């Protein structure tokens, strides 16, 4: 069927090669791509990778080293330093040079050194972070099944290859759970339903066909030549890269890969632009909080010093230095270091972190929603019973179940595998059955029907439809039961008896499927059957499966509860067996909320109900996603643990999506975090790691905010009374640099056990409060140092300002560095809680350097001088007093506001 492709409109002028193939005949497509239904040879595929490139779309790639280096300096706070350097160059070098006076480049060199150190430290840490993240991502492989030949004359074989190795002309096989690996034209399809939510946002799957007649259910009256920008994705014989198969099977030919696909074209237009996450908003809110303080304080300092000292140039320079002192220029690096350390720590626990920011969300999580099958329970389901309708063992039911599972061509689920494994281990059914039966057709499983049918032929002309599925759904399409060799009507009494048997096994912890058949006489047989043919079945019996809980489930749920994380079970399974499993893993089930009940509720009603329920059963994928979104609207940080196709929407919508390495492709792609081992105890470790990471970030924020605010408050007081600047701009900059260096070890610090006991979230209000309450505490002792230097050491004139500067420089730096130990814990530092060894070493090193600077050649260059030894006993008294007052303020603050960080 060849039609004029010029009539197909392409929205936004996207260069999508798939559209040009929508109307071409299969023969013309095979000819164009120089391939056949036997697939490509390996040599041919290799040459096509060289021709077309790898099947990869534009994505957030790690920049080159040079770009990373330049980006490390792309920081508004570094720009403030550079402005300061330019002002210093003009006032200390260029103007004196014009007047023939002595020039001084010392200030400029020190400022640029600080800029360089700040940028290089950030670059090195983020470079390591990117390397760690890329190494972890490379552990996850997504594959596709293709038809390939080793050589031209050899028999083609189905093989799995990485998605990146798919090339145009490849013949691919698709089944439920697969991600569409490229833009493909369908060759054959069977009840193929594809979710295009990743491209359209439409959650309802669309049906795709291997012919180009009516398009989809939504646009069934639209012909191919009428396709416009509103239904480009409704072309029914094209599947697009990045979408996923919900149900059905198909064979297709690849017609576009990588950047030539529809997904790839869209990716090119959006790469580099990421939606702002709650984590980003938290960091930004704190940064802007500090910047607002800077915008208030800097003009005040400038005006006070300008009027009181009369030198507006020095006042401007000092005001800029104050701006630098208030800015958290190390914040990006501290955040990156903490997240990278958290990711590497979780990797040691066999957890792959795909998105670094999800680590903090892991720690903030206060509700974990989890699927049941394969997450709370083991992934190996065991077939326990094959029974007739009266509950007696029946080999015929096993035979029918095996035929159904063996001949279905879709993704075999755990129950199909259990049936095949049991039958092949216990009977010779495979040897006998394969020869006796011939497959005619199948109706694949989907999450709406919740059943699977195959049609077989046994020697004669009659066909036999064998259907297995959930009990309720099977009974809804059955009209008969098979008992004692005859078919009897399925009346209400027999139906209730069947339901009672199923419920009895459910209560014992078994999952139950019903098996039904339909004899189709020769006069009614056909080549293809549809869902409408699944009627008037006869129930033959039941299959029971044991899906025991994971050994680690009970301990993991107990540990999560102890750490303030509530657990809710969201499952498509029935409520009876879910209650049984929940009790075995230590969850009090309460009254389950069913999908049918949820469907009748509006959001306001459901918001109330979800807070009171633990089990949500018989859910569709959309209902799982809806519950998660409403929990988020209720103020919760929600995690979701799932591994199936039907979990993908929930994994995307959760604050942190958690999957396992054995999950379906789409589940792994949707997840933020992937567990590489089956033990659920790693969840508790992940929560603790997330809280440690977040806690160390908050330490930096609170310490920097309060310490910097305290310093600037001290500057305001001094500026109002001193005849000279309380500290030169260069002193403030060096002090700030040394303090920042002392903070670099914080990612290796430990958190108090009390902090790890409950979820933690960004709280800009508490940081502002912390700033205003704790900051001025250090100012008290800055002021006592002013008094000390003014009256005891007679540093009370412009000629003696160097001595004054030296005394405050050391006291200010040491008290600021002590903040690291005083504020890192709500306990008594050094007694009840001691910092990690790297923190202790780094702070001692910075304090030693600070004391040494006035005695060093650098000190004389920047206007400092050695202090008399009598100063140091006074310094010890000041620092000890500061520790006592800071601890007292800490107690008052916690008592008043009920929290520390």
Catalytic (active-site) positions: 371
Count of CB atoms situated within 10 Å of the CB of 536:
14
562 vs 687: CA distance, rounded Å: 11
610 vs 812: CA distance, rounded Å: 53
Task: Supply φ then ψ for residue 213, to 5 degrees.
Answer: -90, -120
Helices (H), 365-490: 395-407, 414-426, 429-436, 471-476
270 vs 738: CA distance, rounded Å: 40
What is the SS3 string spanning 472-499?
A: HHHHHCEEEEEECCEEEECCHHHHHHHH
156 vs 542: CA distance, rounded Å: 40
Asked if residues 29 and 185 have their Cβ atoms less than 8 Å apart, the reply is yes
Max Cα–Cα distance, the chain, nearest Å: 117
3-state SS assignment for residue 216: coil
Please name the residues in contact with 204: beta carbons below 8 A apart, sequence gap of 6 or more. Answer: none
Count of CB atoms situated within 10 Å of the CB of 457:
17
Q: How far is CA 171 from CA 40, 57, 63, 185, 207, in A?
A: 8, 20, 34, 10, 20
DSSP letters spanning 544-567? EEE-PBPTTHHHHHHHHHHTT-EE
237 vs 180: CA distance, rounded Å: 13
Please name the residues in contact with 809: beta carbons below 8 A apart, sequence gap of 6 or more. Answer: 727, 731, 735, 850, 853, 854, 864
Asked if residues 767 and 705 have their Cβ atoms less than 8 Å apart, the reply is yes
3-state SS assignment for residue 23: coil
605 vs 315: CA distance, rounded Å: 61
546 vs 381: CA distance, rounded Å: 6
480 vs 498: CA distance, rounded Å: 12
Burial class (CB in 10 A: 0-12, 13-18, 19+), 746: buried
- Residue 212's nearest CA partner among 231, 185, 250 is 185
Asked if residues 121 and 744 have their Cβ atoms less than 8 Å apart, the reply is yes
Q: Which two tokens stand for residue 759?
A: 């979820």
């Amino acid at each position: 069927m060849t039609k004029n492709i010029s009539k197909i409109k392409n929205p936004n002028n996207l260069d999508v090669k798939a559209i040009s193939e929508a109307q071409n005949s299969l023969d013309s497509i095979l000819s164009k791509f120089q391939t056949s239904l036997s697939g490509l040879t390996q040599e041919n595929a290799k040459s096509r990778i060289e021709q077309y490139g790898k099947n990869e779309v534009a994505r957030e790639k790690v920049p080159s080293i040079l770009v990373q280096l330049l980006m490390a300096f792309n920081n508004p706070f570094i720009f403030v330093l550079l402005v300061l350097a330019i002002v210093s160059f003009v006032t200390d070098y260029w103007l004196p040079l014009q007047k023939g006076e002595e020039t001084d480049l010392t200030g400029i060199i020190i400022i640029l050194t600080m800029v360089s150190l700040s940028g290089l430290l950030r670059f090195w840490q983020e470079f390591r972070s990117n390397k760690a993240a890329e190494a972890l991502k490379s552990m996850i492989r997504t594959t596709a099944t293709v038809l390939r030949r080793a050589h031209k004359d050899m028999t083609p074989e189905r093989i799995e290859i990485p998605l990146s190795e798919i090339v145009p002309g490849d013949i691919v096989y698709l089944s439920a759970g697969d991600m569409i690996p490229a833009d493909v034209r369908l060759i054959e399809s069977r009840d193929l339903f594809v979710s295009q939510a990743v491209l359209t946002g439409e959650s309802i799957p669309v049906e795709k066909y291997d012919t180009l007649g009516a398009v989809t259910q939504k646009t069934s009256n639209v012909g191919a030549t009428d396709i416009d920008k509103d239904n480009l994705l409704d072309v029914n014989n094209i599947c697009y890269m990045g979408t996923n198969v919900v149900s059905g099977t198909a064979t297709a030919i690849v017609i576009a890969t990588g950047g030539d696909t529809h997904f790839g074209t869209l990716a090119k237009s959006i790469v580099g632009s990421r939606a702002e996450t709650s984590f980003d908003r938290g960091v930004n809110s704190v940064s802007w909080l500090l910047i607002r303080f800077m915008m208030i304080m800097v003009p005040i300092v400038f005006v006070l010093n300008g009027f009181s000292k009369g030198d507006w140039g020095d006042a401007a320079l000092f005001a800029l230095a104050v701006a630098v002192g208030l800015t958290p220029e190390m914040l990006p690096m501290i955040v990156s270091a903490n997240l990278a350390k958290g990711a590497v720590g979780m990797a040691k626990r066999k957890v792959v972190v795909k998105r670094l920011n999800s680590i903090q969300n892991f720690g903030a999580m206060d509700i974990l929603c989890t699927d049941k099958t394969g997450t709370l329970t083991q992934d190996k389901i065991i077939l326990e019973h094959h029974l007739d309708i009266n509950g007696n063992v029946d080999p015929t039911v096993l035979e029918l179940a095996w035929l159904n599972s063996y001949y279905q061509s879709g993704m075999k689920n755990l129950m199909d595998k259990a049936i095949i494994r049991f039958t092949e281990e216990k009977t010779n059914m495979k040897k006998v059955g394969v020869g006796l039966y011939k497959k005619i057709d199948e109706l694949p499983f989907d999450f709406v029907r919740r059943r699977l049918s195959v049609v077989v032929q046994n020697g004669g002309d009659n066909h036999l439809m064998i259907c297995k599925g959930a009990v309720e759904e099977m009974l809804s399409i059955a009209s008969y039961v098979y008992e004692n060799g005859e078919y009897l009507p399925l009346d209400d009494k027999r139906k209730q008896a069947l339901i009672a048997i199923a419920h009895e096994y459910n209560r014992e912890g078994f999952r139950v499927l019903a098996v039904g058949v339909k004899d189709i006489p020769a006069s009614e047989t056909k080549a293809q059957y549809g869902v409408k043919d699944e009627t008037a079945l006869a129930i033959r019996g039941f299959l029971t499966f044991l899906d025991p809980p994971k050994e680690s489930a009970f301990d993991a749920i107990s540990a999560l509860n102890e750490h303030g994380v509530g657990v809710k079970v969201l499952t498509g399974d029935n409520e009876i067996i879910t209650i049984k499993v929940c009790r075995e893993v230590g969850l009090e089930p309460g009254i389950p909320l069913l999908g049918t009940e949820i469907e009748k509720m509006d959001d306001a009603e459901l918001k109330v109900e979800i807070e009171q329920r633990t089990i949500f059963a018989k859910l569709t994928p959309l209902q799982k996603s809806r519950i998660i979104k409403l929990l988020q609207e209720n103020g919760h940080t929600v995690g979701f643990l799932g591994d199936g196709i039907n979990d993908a929407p929930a994994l995307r919508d959760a604050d942190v999506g958690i999957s396992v390495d054995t999950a379906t492709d789409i589940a792994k792609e949707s997840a933020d975090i992937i567990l590489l081992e089956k033990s659920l105890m790693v969840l508790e470790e992940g929560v603790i790691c997330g809280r440690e990471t977040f806690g160390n970030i908050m330490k930096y924020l609170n310490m920097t905010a309060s310490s910097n605010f305290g310093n600037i408050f001290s500057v305001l007081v001094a500026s109002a009374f001193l005849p000279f600047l309380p500290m030169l701009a260069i002193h403030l900059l060096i002090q700030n640099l040394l303090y920042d260096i002392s903070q670099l070890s914080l990612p290796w610090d430990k958190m108090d056990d009390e902090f790890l006991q409950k979820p933690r979230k960004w709280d800009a209000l508490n940081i502002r409060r912390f700033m205003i309450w704790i900051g001025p505490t250090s100012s008290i002792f800055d002021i006592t140092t002013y008094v000390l230097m003014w009256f005891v050491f007679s540093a009370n004139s412009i000629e003696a300002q160097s001595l004054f500067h030296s005394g405050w420089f050391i006291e200010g730096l040491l008290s600021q560095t002590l903040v690291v130990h005083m504020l890192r814990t709500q306990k008594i530092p050094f007694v009840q809680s001691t910092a990690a060894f790297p923190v202790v070493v780094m702070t001692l090193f910075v304090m030693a350097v600070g004391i040494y600077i006035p005695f060093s050649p650098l000190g004389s260059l920047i206007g400092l001088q050695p202090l008399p030894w009598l100063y140091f006993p006074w310094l010890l008294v000041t620092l000890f007093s500061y520790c006592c007052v800071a601890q007292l303020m800490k107690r008052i603050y916690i008592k008043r506001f009920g929290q520390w960080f």
